[in-house]
Structure 1
Amino acid sequence: MNNFKKIFPFILPYKKYAYLNIFFNILYALFSTLSFMALIPMMQVLFDQTKRNTSMPVWHGIVHVKGFFENYLSYFITTSTDNYGVGYTLSIMVFVIISIFLLKNLCDYFALFFITFLRNGILRDMRNAMYKKTIDLPLSFFSEKRKGDTISRIAGDVSEVQSSFLSILEMVVKEPLTIVFTIIMMFAISTKLTIFVFIFIPLSGYVISLIGKQLKKQSTRAQQEQGTFLSTIEETLGGLKVVKGYNSENYFNRIFQESTQRFFDLSNNIGNRQNLASPVSEFMGIMVIAILLWYGGHMVLIEKSLNGASFIAYMGLAYNILTPAKSISKASYSIKRGNAAAERVLEILEQENPITSKVNAIKKDVFNDKITIRNINFKYEKETVLKDFSLDVKKGQTVALVGQSGSGKSTIANLLTRFYDVNDGEISIDGIGIKDLNLKSLRGLMGLVTQDSILFNDTIKANISLGKLDASDAEIIEALKIANAYEFVQDLPDGIYTNIGDSGNKLSGGQKQRLSIARAVLKNPPIMILDEATSALDTESEKLVQIALENMMQNRTSIVIAHRLSTIQKADVIVVMQKGKIVEQGNHETLIALNGTYNKLVSMQSFE
Structure 2
Amino acid sequence: MDYIKKIWAYAKPYKKYAYGNVIANVFYALFGSLAFVSLIPMLKVLFDDKKVVSAPPEYTSILELGDYLEGHLNFYLTQQVEAIGEMKVLMYMIAVVVVTFLLKNFFGYLAMWFITFLRNGVLKDIRNALYLKTLDLPISFFSEKKKGDTISRMTSDVQVIQSSFLSILELIVREPLTILFAILIMLTLSAKLTLFVFIFIPVSGFIISRIGKTLKKKSHQVQEEQGFFLSILEETLSGLKIIKGFNAQSIFTNKFKDSTGRYYEYSNNLLNRQNLASPISEVLGIAVIGVLLWFGGSMVLIEKTLDPAAFIAYMGLAYQILTPAKAISKASYGVKKGNAAAERVLEILETPSLIVDAPNAKQKVGFQNKLSIENMSFKYEDEYVLKNFTLHVKKGETVALVGQSGSGKSTIANLVTRFYDVNEGSISIDGDNIIDITQASLRSLMGLVTQDSILFNDSIKENMLVGDPTATDEEILGALKIANAWEFVKDLPETIHTNIGDSGNKLSGGQKQRLSIARAVLKNPPIMILDEATSALDTESERLVQEALENMMKNRTSIVIAHRLSTIQKADNIVVLSKGEIVEQGRHEELLAKNGVYQNLVEMQSLA
Q: Same fold (TM over 0.5)?
A: yes
Q: What is the alpha-carbon distance in structure 1 between the residues aligned to residue 40 and residue 461 of structure 2?
A: 74
**What residue number does 1:600 align with?**
600
**What residue number does 1:190 align with?**
190
**What residue number does 2:279 align with?**
279
Q: Cα distance, 1:208 vs. partner?
A: 2.1
Cα-to-partner distance string for 1:91-136 (whole Å, 9 max, x where unaligned): 1111111110000000000000111000011111111111111111
Q: Does 1:288 align with 2:301?
A: no
Q: For residue 305 of structure 1, what is the amino acid of its counterpart?
A: T
**What residue number does 2:212 align with?**
212
Q: Cα distance, 1:213 vs. partner?
A: 2.1
Q: Cα distance, 1:56 vs. partner?
A: 4.7
Shift in alpha-carbon separation, 1:140–1:68, aligned structure 2, 3 A: same
**What residue number does 1:113 align with?**
113
**What residue number does 1:252 align with?**
252
In the TM superposition, 1:489-568 aligns within 5 A as: 489-568=489-568
Q: Cα distance, 1:501 vs. partner?
A: 0.5
**What residue number does 2:370 align with?**
370
Q: For residue 518 of structure 1, what is the amino acid of its counterpart?
A: A
Could you tell me which runs of 5 or more consecutive residues in structure 1 were left unpaired when the two chains were aligned.
none
Indicate the larger mover: 60-69 or 171-180. 60-69
Q: Does 1:150 align with 2:150?
A: yes
| SS of structure 1 residue aligned to 2:422 | coil
Q: Does 1:224 align with 2:224?
A: yes
Q: What is the alpha-carbon distance in structure 2 between the residues aligned to residue 239 and residue 483 of structure 1?
A: 28
Q: For residue 550 of structure 2, what is the amino acid of its counterpart?
A: E
Q: What is the alpha-carbon distance in structure 1 between the residues aligned to residue 227 and residue 176 of structure 2?
A: 36
**What residue number does 1:200 align with?**
200
Q: What is the alpha-carbon distance in structure 2 between the residues aligned to residue 92 and residue 61 of structure 1?
A: 31
Q: Does 1:301 align with 2:268?
A: no
Cα-to-partner distance string for 1:4-26 (whole Å, 9 max, x where unaligned): 10012210000000000000100
TM normalised by structure 2 equals 0.98
Q: Cα distance, 1:375 vs. partner?
A: 1.0
**What residue number does 1:422 align with?**
422
| SS of structure 2 residue aligned to 1:143 | helix
Q: Does 1:480 align with 2:480?
A: yes
**What residue number does 2:579 align with?**
579
Q: What is the alpha-carbon distance in structure 1 between the residues aligned to residue 465 and residue 458 of structure 2?
A: 11
Could you tell me which runs of 5 or more consecutive residues in structure 2 were left unpaired when the two chains were aligned.
none
Q: For residue 26 of structure 1, what is the amino acid of its counterpart?
A: V
In the TM superposition, 1:433-448 aligns within 5 A as: 433-448=433-448
Q: What is the alpha-carbon distance in structure 2 between the residues aligned to residue 302 and residue 585 of structure 1?
A: 109
Q: What is the alpha-carbon distance in structure 1 between the residues aligned to residue 426 and residue 51 of structure 2?
A: 94
Q: Cα distance, 1:163 vs. partner?
A: 1.1
Q: What is the alpha-carbon distance in structure 2 between the residues aligned to residue 76 and residue 194 of structure 1?
A: 27
Q: What is the alpha-carbon distance in structure 1 between the residues aligned to residue 77 and residue 253 of structure 2?
A: 75
**What residue number does 1:30 align with?**
30
Indicate the larger mover: 512-521 or 202-211. 202-211
Q: Cα distance, 1:63 vs. partner?
A: 9.0
Q: Cα distance, 1:488 vs. partner?
A: 0.7
Q: What is the alpha-carbon distance in structure 1 between the residues aligned to residue 584 and residue 11 of structure 2?
A: 60
**What residue number does 1:50 align with?**
50
**What residue number does 1:358 align with?**
358
Q: What is the alpha-carbon distance in structure 1 between the residues aligned to residue 118 and residue 539 of structure 2?
A: 58
In the TM superposition, 1:372-391 aligns within 5 A as: 372-391=372-391
**What residue number does 1:399 align with?**
399
| SS of structure 1 residue aligned to 2:419 | coil
Q: What is the alpha-carbon distance in structure 1 between the residues aligned to residue 589 and residue 444 of structure 2?
A: 34
Q: Does 1:13 align with 2:13?
A: yes
Q: What is the alpha-carbon distance in structure 2 between the residues aligned to residue 553 and residue 69 of structure 1?
A: 93
Contact 1:40 1:313 in 2 (8 A): yes
Indicate the larger mover: 301-310 or 169-178. 301-310
Cα-to-partner distance string for 1:239-286 (whole Å, 9 max, x where unaligned): 000011011112211211111111111111111111121111101110
| SS of structure 1 residue aligned to 2:415 | helix
| SS of structure 2 residue aligned to 1:468 | coil
Q: What is the alpha-carbon distance in structure 2 between the residues aligned to residue 103 and residue 341 of structure 1?
A: 37
| SS of structure 2 residue aligned to 1:200 | helix
Q: Cα distance, 1:377 vs. partner?
A: 1.1
Q: What is the alpha-carbon distance in structure 2 between the residues aligned to residue 139 and residue 528 of structure 1?
A: 20
Contact 1:479 1:518 in 2 (8 A): yes
Indicate the larger mover: 261-270 or 52-61. 52-61
Q: What is the alpha-carbon distance in structure 2 between the residues aligned to residue 585 and residue 534 of structure 1?
A: 22
Cα-to-partner distance string for 1:304-352 (whole Å, 9 max, x where unaligned): 2212111111111111110000111111111111111111111111110
Q: Cα distance, 1:70 vs. partner?
A: 3.2
Indicate the larger mover: 356-365 or 138-147. 356-365
Indicate the larger mover: 60-69 or 162-171. 60-69
Q: Cα distance, 1:299 vs. partner?
A: 1.7
Q: Cα distance, 1:186 vs. partner?
A: 1.1
**What residue number does 1:163 align with?**
163
Q: Cα distance, 1:37 vs. partner?
A: 1.1
Q: What is the alpha-carbon distance in structure 1 between the residues aligned to residue 110 and residue 59 of structure 2?
A: 35
Contact 1:455 1:516 in 2 (8 A): yes
Q: What is the alpha-carbon distance in structure 2 between the residues aligned to residue 216 and residue 9 of structure 1?
A: 22
Let me know the Cα RMSD of the aligned residues.
Answer: 1.4
Contact 1:376 1:425 in 2 (8 A): yes
Q: What is the alpha-carbon distance in structure 2 between the residues aligned to residue 197 and residue 481 of structure 1?
A: 83
Cα-to-partner distance string for 1:577-596 (whole Å, 9 max, x where unaligned): 11111111111111111111
Contact 2:65 2:188 in 1 (8 A): no
Identity %: 65
Q: What is the alpha-carbon distance in structure 2 between the residues aligned to residue 502 and residue 155 of structure 1?
A: 21
Cα-to-partner distance string for 1:384-441 (whole Å, 9 max, x where unaligned): 1011111111111000001111110000000000100001111100000001001100
Q: Cα distance, 1:570 vs. partner?
A: 0.6
